Chain A
Amino acid sequence: MKKIYVLLASLVMMVALLVAGCGSSDTKPAATKSGVSADVKAIQDRGVLNVGVKVDVPRFGFKDPKTNQIDGFEIDLTRALAKKILGDEKKIAVQAVTAKTRGPLLDNGEVDLVIATFTITEERKLSYNFSDPYFTDGVALMVKKDSGIKDLKGLDGKKIGVAQSATSKKAIQEEADKLGIKISFLEFGTYPEIKTALDAGRVDCFSVDGSILFGYLDDSTVILADRYTPQKYGAASKKSNEGLAKMVNDTITDMRKSGELDQLIKKWDLK
């Protein structure tokens, strides 16, 4: 019996160490002589900007299966930021993130920025720095053509498939409350899984930001015209990297003023 106590005690200690270790690992950004903050300097010394992007959202961040190239609006944005920080838009290393991995990857420093249809919320701002929004989208609903559903009201008593970590659940719930209808949600890890669930009839509706939803439209499905609760996308960085966050924000503000951002939005045919 004694052995068990020793084992348990060491387990508790391990967890405590882990918690303490991770909690104290944040460092305050200190300005260096050259005028750039330490976190930006670290990226410049490394010579490459590590960014987490989506690879399954056509026109935002999408890996073309034919060429294996990742491209899209958010990749162009990444290039513009690399140009600003490193002076060369080619010095980027993008890696695929999902809704579930983008938070941890920022925290452990594997990526400097996450530019991946990341909706800004007050709750999330407590954990990460967000830039001002670079794009605003609305939550949309996709249903099967043969279901005959025409609007949110038609979804009374139905199941709606949403992505984990997406804000669409809250947005649709609020609208449903206004209409006084009852709906339930099932959460899935990736968008293709929700589409599979819709095809199988596990859910009656696939709901996510409109621009993402268009990538999954096919002959048997239709996207309803209504859009709900504007979703503002921001570039996120680790909470302690304040210098980087400011630089990113300034760059995006400049791009908006100069019209460069609108040009990119036009280039990728986003509304």
Chain B
Amino acid sequence: MPGPFAGFKWLALVSDWSIFAEGFMQTILLSVLALTLSLLLGIFFGLLGTSDVKILRVCNRIYVEFIQNTPLVIQIFFLYHVLPHAGIMLPVFVVGVLGVGGYHGAYIAEIVRAGVESIPKGQKEAAYSQGFSYWGAMLHIVLPQAKKIAYPPLTNQAVSLIKNTSVLAMVAGGDLMYHADSWSSNTLYYGPAYIVTGLLYLSLCFPLALYARKLERNVEVTS
């Protein structure tokens, strides 16, 4: 009797493997670009958050609070469905990179800020007393130390980011989840489709998670 995992459904999936491969590639490309954007945004806004100038810190708070306290799905819907009414028609891939990258940028900003703030004030003051400028002190004294603390949570953000690219399925984004939805709902062979899709996401995220754990252990040893 054909259950949800009947053999012929697996065979159908194997013969349509190129659909899943296409989605997988799209998800990887999307993740890489979104991660790059989120790192740039995160480092920029994170450093704003540690600034001595109040207005810069306010900028950091507005960005972080606004992004962290609204659902990613709404942000994506806004970029995809609302902006066209204002005459801005971003391609869906750009919506994905901006949406997911911007979303995780806010989390990374908090990680960067926490990393910098965890370095004792004395370090910076000592650097100043040796004649370092603000940027000199940051670049040579504070950031190298903060980096070690910020690395493990950053890797976890990368894992979350990869998984969150799947929201693009809701706006026909052409990513892995979209193709899994599309294929499984056309054929109704949802059993194999979602298992394979899950394993593909696992194959991306699991190595990263392991790497994060290794980094965490490294921090333990040195501290």
Interface size on A, residues (CB 8 A): 38
B85 sits at the interface (CB 8 A): yes
Contact A123 to B4, CB < 8 A, known contacts A196-B81, A200-B80, A202-B81: no
A19–B5 CB distance below 8 A:
yes
A201–B84 CB distance below 8 A:
yes
A-B residue pairs in contact (CB < 8 Å), sample of 13: A19-B191, A19-B195, A23-B5, A23-B6, A99-B185, A100-B185, A123-B187, A123-B188, A124-B188, A126-B2, A199-B81, A200-B81, A239-B1
Bound CA span A59–B176, Å? 35
A107–B3 CB distance below 8 A:
yes
Contact A202 to B181, CB < 8 A, known contacts A104-B4, A126-B2: no
Contact A239 to B5, CB < 8 A, known contacts A127-B189, A200-B80: no
Please list the residues of chain A having a beta carbon within 8 angstroms of any beta carbon in chain B: 4, 11, 15, 18-19, 22-26, 28, 99-100, 103-104, 107, 123-124, 126-128, 161, 164-165, 169, 186-189, 193, 196-197, 199-202, 239-240
A193–B170 CB distance below 8 A:
yes
Q: Which of B3, B186, B202 contacts A165 (CB 8 A)?
A: B186
Bound CA span A11–B9, Å? 22
Q: Which A residues lie within 8 Å of B17 (CB)?
A: none
Chain A proximity of B212: nearest CB distance (Å) = 14
B190–A103 CB distance below 8 A:
yes
Interface size on B, residues (CB 8 A): 32
Bound CA span A187–B178, Å? 8
Bound CA span A234–B165, Å? 36
Query: Which has the most chain B C-beta neighbours within 10 Å: A24, A127, A202?
Result: A127
Q: Which of A19, A24, A165, A201 contacts B188 (CB 8 A)?
A: A165
Query: B181-209 vs A: 1/0 string, CB under 8 Å?
Result: 11001111111000100010010000000
Bound CA span A103–B194, Å? 13
B195–A22 CB distance below 8 A:
no
Chain B proximity of A174: nearest CB distance (Å) = 15
> Nearest A residue to B182 by beta-carbon distance?
A187
Q: Which A residues lie within 8 Å of B81 (CB)?
A: 196-197, 199-200, 202
B14 sits at the interface (CB 8 A): no
Q: Which of A11, A107, A187 contacts B4 (CB 8 A)?
A: A107
Q: Which A residues lie within 8 Å of B199 (CB)?
A: 15
Contact A25 to B82, CB < 8 A, known contacts A127-B188, A164-B181, A188-B172: no
A200–B85 CB distance below 8 A:
yes
B185–A164 CB distance below 8 A:
yes
